[in-house]
Amino acid sequence: MKFGILVNEGPYTHQASDSAYHFTKAALEKGHEIYRVFFYNDGVNNGSRLTVPPQDERNIQNNWTELAEKHDLDLVVCVAAAQRRGILDENEAKRHSKNADNIAPGFRISGLGQLIETGIECDRVVAFGD
């Protein structure tokens, strides 16, 4: 089965990010395809490379980055939601005259069209968070 994953909550304020990560990992281990993971609303905070949790806690951003690298996952952060929350890649930082970017490795910024495409291409889209 081909899944699309939608993550709507931030990594440390709600269980949704962890649930989405564990669902994605389990689906891949069972041989399913993950077409795309789309981060929307506060979920875009999963894509910040500036997250520094305490050493004895899980690092959900690193977990996503490692999973994406291992399975060649498409981790897409919604551009409008990201800009509102200060998540920028190099191009967006330049476009808005900011002196730094903070998108995590393995993530990319794009628009809602990527979410629509996910719904068209997948057998199921599973949403985590409100």
Residues that are catalytic: 78
Q: What is the mean pLDDT of each run of 10 residues along the chain (130 residues)?
A: 97 94 98 98 96 91 97 98 96 94 97 97 97
Q: What is the pTM of this model?
A: 0.95
C-alpha closest to that of 16 among 95, 121, 129: 129
Residue 106 contacts residue 65 (beta carbons within 8 Å)? yes
Please state, in angstroms and rounded to a whole number, the distance separating the CA atoms of residues 84 and 87.
Answer: 8
Query: Which amino acid makes up residue 99?
Result: N
Domains in the chain: boundaries: 2-50+59-128
- At the top level of CATH, the class of 2-50+59-128 is alpha beta
